[in-house]
Structure 1
Amino acid sequence: MSYQKEQMVDLILDKLTEKFDSLREQYFQENDVTKTKFFYVDDLLPVDLAEKIFLAFPEKSEKWRRLTSFRENKCTSKSFDDFDSILRDITFAFQDNSVIQMIEKITEIPNLCGDDTLYAGGLSMMSEGHFLNPHIDNSHNQDRTLYRRANLLFYVTPEWKLENGGNIELWNTDVSKNLTIESKFNRLVVMETNDKSWHSVSKVVAQGRRCCVSNYYFSETSPKQKDYFHITAFNGRPTEKLKRLQCFADNLLRTSVRKVLKKGIGKKDLYKSDDKQV
């Protein structure tokens, strides 16, 4: 069976509506480890559709953007023209206003809006050795007109196991302990983002590809109820003392650059609706 974007939107809404009360309870439940609010929902889409999305992820392509540093090691892409259209459809299904409004109702984050540029979002693929160190996301969108408020991660690798790694980790405020959420096949994870929402991805230690469709939502409303700004700031794990010092220095340097150059100096990894990358 083939699926169009509109059908994907309806399927997502059906599942979120079905689980609405339990998702709200999960999101607002206090946690002993992390203060970051989150919920996850399993079996989001029909299995055949979730499998088709996974199979559409190309194993190798020049259109994958490889991010390699002491901070992270992963592949991302927004080059939908070069991939099966199902990948664009599922990505932008999460950007549909009706889905955004449903997430707003569940989380009570006010005035949520999507991002058709997919700033820092899009497709993510991690394989053996890949990781993402503890970090807080950049506080704003590219133009600093909106606050980043929610992160949606949809995992699509069949039979991916907890012990394979590649799982999202939510940390406490001093990054000393974490809660692990398995990157299970056909699972959607939604988490709030703010200046305390430290999170990471554990190192992938198995062969295979951990594939994810990632989206962010924004709002004019600050999560702190006052104006603030910060870059994407990284930290080392509790056992990585030297890396913590390295991250501290790196964060200071990049913050200084952003004070001078509002939009930074790196490649602007944005998606444009006319199908051109900038």
Structure 2
Amino acid sequence: MNRIELATLIFEKLHEQKETLKSQFQNSDSSIGNFFLDDVLPTEMAIEIMEAFPKPEAMVLKKSLREDKYVAAQMNLYHPLLEEIIYAFQDKRVVEVIGEICAIKNPIPDENLYAGGISMMGNNQFLNPHLDNSHDKDRHLWRVLNLLYYVTPNWKEEYGGNLELWPNGLKEKPLTIHSKFNRLVVMETHSNSLHSVSPVAFDGYRRCVSNYYFSESPLLESDRFHVTSFRGRPEHKFSDVVLQLDTLLRMTLRKIFKKGVKENPHVYKKDNPNQ
């Protein structure tokens, strides 16, 4: 299926559940607005997407104190279905209905896949608590929504690799959203949207299709520019101190170099920009 056909299925599912998802978003047990939608695509199609994922060695390993995961954004290197499903979530109909659900006017999808694309996490891999970078790659638009579509069949919550929201900071327990097969999770991103992915505790890979939406205005009046800002998990006190110092250093550099010391490589560099 191409992106238009996939987008039609996604839109119909979102539209059918729109009022329920609105209530879910508005009544989130968190100051981080969110909703999730199950059975987004026919099961067979979701399995096809999972099977199209590359092997880990064909992706980029991001491994540091901040995170440990495999990512990819240069989608023309991989199975065409992966590019089609990513951009299906950028279809105008899908973007508009998600904007309605989240009460965000004119959300703007990111064709450059800045920090988007696909990701995989295997045993012991993780993503520490963090705030996403506040802007797009050119620092013109505000990042407002994070879309995560999970495609690993039979992924149990106890396997880890689940989205964690920390609305009350690291002193309180997070809200855990299971990275269930064929589930779409949408969450707000702003200066208080601390989130993480729990360490994987299973000999297998949790696969995810990621997108971000942007806006000309931030979600919160208090929002200010910030780099991706990591913290250590509550049980890792030393890591937390190191990561806060790391964020301070990178913020200082961004005050001097507005677009960073070097270009972030995690973007989709297309031969044809209109592709």
Instruction: Summarize the Cα distance change of 1:83–1:113 in structure 2 as closer, same or farther, 3 Å threshold.
Output: same
Q: CA deviation at 1:174?
A: 2.2
- Please give the alpha-carbon distance, in whole angstroms, between the structure 1 residues aligned to 2:56 and 2:141: 34
For residues 29-52 of structure 1, the C-alpha deviation after alignment (integer angstroms, 9 at most, x for no partner) is 041xx3100000000000010000
Residue matched to 1:274: 271
8 Å Cα contact 1:235-1:248 kept in structure 2 = yes
- Please give the alpha-carbon distance, in whole angstroms, between the structure 1 residues aligned to 2:223 and 2:158: 41
Q: Which one-letter code corresponds to 2:183 in the other structure?
A: R
In structure 2, the gaps of 5 or more residues are none
Alignment of 1:180-199 (within 5 A): 180-199=176-195
Q: Which one-letter code corresponds to 1:263 in the other structure?
A: K
Aligned partner of 2:76 among 77, 81, 106: 81
Residue matched to 2:174: 178
- Please give the alpha-carbon distance, in whole angstroms, between the structure 2 residues aligned to 1:81 and 1:239: 40
- Please give the alpha-carbon distance, in whole angstroms, between the structure 1 residues aligned to 2:270 and 2:39: 30
Instruction: Summarize the Cα distance change of 1:155–1:235 in structure 2 as closer, same or farther, 3 Å threshold.
Output: same
For residues 199-254 of structure 1, the C-alpha deviation after alignment (integer angstroms, 9 at most, x for no partner) is 00000110111000000000001212367201110111111111111111111101
Aligned partner of 1:264 among 260, 267, 270: 260
Comparing 39-48 with 21-30, which one deviates more in the overlay?
Answer: 21-30
Alignment: residue pair count: 271
- Please give the alpha-carbon distance, in whole angstroms, between the structure 2 residues aligned to 1:263 and 1:180: 33
8 Å Cα contact 2:47-2:153 kept in structure 1 = yes
Runs of 4+ residues deviating >3 angstroms? none
Instruction: Summarize the Cα distance change of 1:129–1:251 in structure 2 as closer, same or farther, 3 Å threshold.
Output: same
Instruction: Summarize the Cα distance change of 1:227–1:162 in structure 2 as closer, same or farther, 3 Å threshold.
Output: closer
Q: CA deviation at 1:275?
A: 6.2
Instruction: Summarize the Cα distance change of 1:157–1:263 in structure 2 as closer, same or farther, 3 Å threshold.
Output: same
8 Å Cα contact 1:76-1:123 kept in structure 2 = yes
Q: CA deviation at 1:124?
A: 0.5
8 Å Cα contact 2:28-2:35 kept in structure 1 = no
Aligned partner of 1:13 among 11, 14, 17: 11
- Please give the alpha-carbon distance, in whole angstroms, between the structure 2 residues aligned to 1:163 and 1:226: 36
Alignment of 1:53-132 (within 5 A): 53-62=49-58, 64-132=59-127
Identity %: 45
8 Å Cα contact 2:56-2:120 kept in structure 1 = no
What's the C-alpha RMSD, in Å, of the aligned pairs? 1.4
Residue matched to 2:219: 223
For residues 167-198 of structure 1, the C-alpha deviation after alignment (integer angstroms, 9 at most, x for no partner) is 00000242222000000000000000000000
- Please give the alpha-carbon distance, in whole angstroms, between the structure 2 residues aligned to 1:268 and 1:79: 10
SS of 1:259's partner is helix
Q: Which one-letter code corresponds to 1:273 in the other structure?
A: K
SS of 1:111's partner is coil
In structure 1, the gaps of 5 or more residues are none
- Please give the alpha-carbon distance, in whole angstroms, between the structure 2 residues aligned to 1:10 and 1:111: 19
